Structure 1
Amino acid sequence: MWNYLIHNERQAVLLLYFSIVNILSFFFFALDKIKAERHQWRISENTLLLISFLGGATGALTGMVVFKHKLSKKKFTLGIPILLVFNRLLELFLFANLYQG
């Protein structure tokens, strides 16, 4: 089924990495929202931005919208979409290079 997308093991590992980091990012935003509502210890903004930078921007943006979280913070409303573009370009570059070699 994935044969048209995945041409070697390295691409499969890369796809798995980006899938996991985006799921984690989504759940970090969910957990931070829950903790904010309960006035508990929070996940730091730097941690949320770091996981987004490391490939989790799609999960972060989805979490922001689904949980209506961090939508009033410019560093997130501007930063996460920028990181999303960066993530997609990085993924395209990595997948293309792994396809060739």
Structure 2
Amino acid sequence: MVEILSNITILAAIYLVLNIVAFGAYGFDKAKASMDKWRTPEKTLLILAFFGPFGAYAGMLVFRHKTQKKPFTWAVPLFILIHIIAFIGIIFILN
């Protein structure tokens, strides 16, 4: 049981880092957009959103970035839904 808890802790830490990275990427891209400099490709931002959807969504709201772009308005919420369903599935598996 202790091993399972330590594995869950490690996975939670990795998940937190992924969401922080996604949040930061959205902020970084917004800053670059404001300075009219090289931008992060939208595909990269969407991939980051797939792995860290909560951070990506927070980045969209906080930085007001990509909130009008169609792929982002439907994909990021969809990724959040997928992650919530996966979390529920994992909880059922562990119990």
TM category, shorter: 0.7 to 0.9
| Stretches of 4+ aligned residues off by more than 4 angstroms | none
Quote the RMSD (CA, aligned, Å).
1.4
Instruction: Name the aligned partner's letter for residue 47 of structure 1.
Output: T
Partner of 2:55: 59
TM-score (normalizing by structure 1)? 0.83
Q: Which has the higher contact order (CA 8 A, sep 6+)?
A: 1
Map 1:20-99 → 2, pairs under 5 A: 20-54=17-51, 56-97=52-93, 99=94
Name the one with the larger helix percent: 2
Runs of at least 5 residues in structure 1 that lack an aligned partner in the other structure: 1-6
TM-score (normalizing by structure 2)? 0.88
Runs of at least 5 residues in structure 2 that lack an aligned partner in the other structure: none
